[in-house]
């Protein structure tokens, strides 16, 4: 405490000690940060750090069990551009994604339009269509691999009943990828349907009433009222389904193993083969980062195409 005189008046000023309560209060951590700290720690250790490590590995000729790891810089990425297996896997992945997502969006929306009611039969049908979504892809792949087997599968038996020769869908190069697309669509159409049913129920009924008063047809109502109103739902569904399809692995691994003749070899399957079969960790890490960039670019394009404002 100090005392000074200004124009005949005494002024007393108080100087707080460095460890005073006011200074200690300013240093207190926000309770929100304290609650987030465990989650942030787990995120950093198990997500962010492995991501950074994978990029670090992609810069080396990193081979499991080697005495030393050779620095390559971006050599693995250059090698990818010269690898025909990479370009084949990229083409297979893109074809699968484009066809699967397109079919899922169209079929999911059509089924949602037909089953958006709340009747008992409608609910039962919706539940039946959604059931494959909750089953793992590995289980789905094993079941369909058995069904499509030309010797002991149910599909081969149906061909026999009509006097036709069973078709080896999974061992014919021209039919293997379409078979995977069929199974992928069959599994996820219920998921797309549920998303669109939720979006359709959020459309204000006044818009449909106004369309009815204007005498619009069913097709015009869907095109000019429904689709613009569910644009955020279309964005969400397309984005999620695209990311899922670009990570195609389970069905390939279980049903075809990437064959026949690499006709179903996806990027993730190539990544698995490079990293866990051939033990080329650096090369596999480079594939993962290329896939990450592809997902980001396609997601950015979709966000641009389906952009919307609150006034739409």
> Whole-angstrom Cα distance, residue 294 to residue 297?
5
Q: What is the pLDDT of residue 139?
A: 92
Percent helix, strand, coil in the chain, to 5, is 70, 5, 25
Q: What is the pLDDT of residue 219?
A: 87
Q: What is the pLDDT of residue 291?
A: 94
Range 55-82 average pLDDT: 87
pLDDT in tens, 75-119: 999 999 999 999 999 999 999 999 999 999 999 999 999 988 888
Print burial letters for 296-305: b (CB count within 10 Å at least 16), e (below 16). eebeeebeee
Q: What is the pLDDT of residue 159?
A: 86
Q: What is the pLDDT of residue 18?
A: 53
Q: How many angstroms separate the Cα of 62 from the Cα of each of 30, 136, 274?
A: 43, 33, 11
Range 206-214 average pLDDT: 86
pLDDT in tens, 284-305: 999 999 999 999 999 999 888 8
> Whole-angstrom Cα distance, residue 242 to residue 289?
17
Q: What is the pLDDT of residue 26?
A: 54
Better-scored residue on pLDDT, 177 or 210: 177
Question: Is the pLDDT assigned to residue 32 strictly greater than 60?
Answer: yes
> Whole-angstrom Cα distance, residue 198 to residue 112?
9
pLDDT in tens, 131-170: 999 999 899 999 999 999 988 888 888 888 888 888 999 9
Q: What is the pLDDT of residue 15?
A: 52
Q: What is the pLDDT of residue 1?
A: 52
Range 198-225 average pLDDT: 87
Band of the pLDDT at 311, cuts 50, 70, 90? very low
Which fold does the domain 84-305 belong to in CATH?
MetI-like fold (1.10.3720)
Residue at token pair 């000729």: 61
Range 207-231 average pLDDT: 87
Q: What is the pLDDT of residue 21?
A: 52
């Amino acid at each position: 405490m100090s005392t000074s005189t200004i124009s005949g008046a005494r002024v007393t000023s108080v100087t707080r000690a460095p460890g005073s309560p006011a200074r200690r209060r300013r240093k207190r951590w926000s309770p929100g940060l304290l609650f987030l700290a465990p989650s942030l720690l787990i995120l950093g250790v198990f997500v962010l750090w492995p991501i950074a490590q994978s990029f670090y590995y992609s810069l080396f000729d990193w081979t499991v069990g080697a005495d030393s790891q050779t620095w390559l810089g971006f050599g693995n990425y250059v090698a990818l551009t010269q690898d025909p297996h990479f370009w084949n896997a990229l083409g297979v992945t893109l074809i699968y994604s484009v066809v699967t997502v397109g079919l899922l969006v169209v079929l999911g929306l059509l089924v949602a339009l037909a089953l958006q009611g709340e009747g008992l039969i409608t609910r039962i049908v919706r539940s039946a269509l959604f059931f494959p979504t909750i089953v793992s892809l590995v289980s789905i792949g094993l079941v369909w691999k058995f069904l499509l087997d030309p010797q002991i599968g149910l599909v081969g038996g149906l061909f026999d009943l009509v006097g036709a020769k069973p078709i080896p869908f999974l061992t014919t190069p021209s039919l293997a990828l379409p078979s995977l697309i069929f199974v992928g669509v069959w599994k996820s159409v219920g998921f797309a349907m549920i998303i669109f049913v939720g979006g359709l129920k959020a459309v204000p009924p006044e818009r449909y009433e106004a369309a009815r008063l204007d005498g619009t047809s069913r097709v015009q109502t869907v095109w000019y009222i429904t689709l613009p109103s569910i644009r955020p739902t279309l964005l969400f569904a397309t984005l999620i389904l695209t990311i899922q399809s670009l990570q195609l692995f389970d069905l390939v691994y279980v049903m075809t193993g990437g064959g026949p003749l690499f006709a179903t070899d996806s990027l993730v399957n190539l990544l698995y083969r490079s990293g866990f079969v051939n033990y080329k960790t650096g090369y596999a890490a480079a594939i993962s980062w290329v896939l990450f960039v592809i997902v980001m670019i396609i997601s950015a394009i979709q966000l641009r195409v389906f952009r919307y404002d609150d006034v739409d």
